[in-house]
A and B are shown apart, each in its own frame.
Chain A
Amino acid sequence: EPEVTQTPSHQVTQMGQEVILRCVPISNHLYFYWYRQILGQKVEFLVSFYNNEISEKSEIFDDQFSVERPDGSNFTLKIRSTKLEDSAMYFCASTRQGVLETQYFGPGTRLLVL
């Protein structure tokens, strides 16, 4: 069964450093999402992306965050200058045709900012 993959599985970085989290969505999916989950808390929406544009972003997704689909398979989340409070699990998800469909989540990247 096709699945969403994410790399790296874990990332440790110093505060103020840039990080790029990578995702490969399911190949025939058109909508891509990033979520984050602070330890023990709920899954929070960050951004949705379709047709090479951001469809929607939450208030968490400020100027420090950006997303890109640099080629036909990868979908990346960049955090320009990490803060301690960015420490969380970051999940990528994809759907075939939009948010009303099943979201397939990747295994996540655990980001720790020191």
Chain B
Amino acid sequence: GQQVMQIPQYQHVQEGEDFTTYCNSSTTLSNIQWYKQRPGGHPVFLIQLVKSGEVKKQKRLTFQFGEAKKNSSLHITATQTTDVGTYFCAGPKGYALNFGKGTSLLVTP
């Protein structure tokens, strides 16, 4: 079955450093969604990518969808302490959303 994998599992950066998390699916995805979960919170939708090779930006966040629609990345430029949380990618699988294990980001001031 479809598996969605994310690396790294954890990342600890100094405030101002960049951060990237990578997502890989074992199957081609119709779209990929990214969610952020703050400690103790619930997943909050960030973005959806649909097209092969698509790149979208949200302020300091840059999202990419691979040409083969099997991988994706989230890059944060100049991290801030407000970026702390776990970032999940998720791909549709039938009527379900299949989440990766997430990358937990810790930002030290």
Q: Do chains A and B interact in one complex?
A: yes
* A91 smallest CB distance to B (angstroms): 6
B33, B42, B97, most chain A CB atoms within 10 A = B42
Q: A56-B95, A56-B96 are in contact. Are A102 and B42 (CB under 8 A)?
A: no
Chain A residue contacts of B37, Cβ below 8 A: 43
Q: A41-B101, A42-B102, A45-B97 are in contact. Are A99 and B92 (CB under 8 A)?
A: yes
Cβ of B45 and Cβ of A103 under 8 Å apart?
A: yes
Chain B residue nearest to A108 in the complex (CB):
B42
Give the CA-CA distance A56 to B92 in the complex, in Å. 12
Please provide the 3 A-B residue pairs with the shortest distance between their CB atoms, ordered closest to farther. A56-B95, A55-B95, A45-B96
- By a beta-carbon cutoff of 8 Å, the part of chain A in contact with chain B is 31, 33, 35, 41-45, 48, 50, 55-56, 58, 91, 98-108
The 23 sampled A-B contact pairs (Cβ below 8 Å) are A33-B97, A41-B101, A42-B100, A42-B101, A42-B102, A43-B90, A45-B99, A50-B95, A55-B94, A55-B95, A91-B42, A99-B97, A100-B30, A100-B92, A102-B33, A102-B48, A103-B43, A103-B97, A104-B45, A105-B42, A105-B44, A107-B41, A108-B42
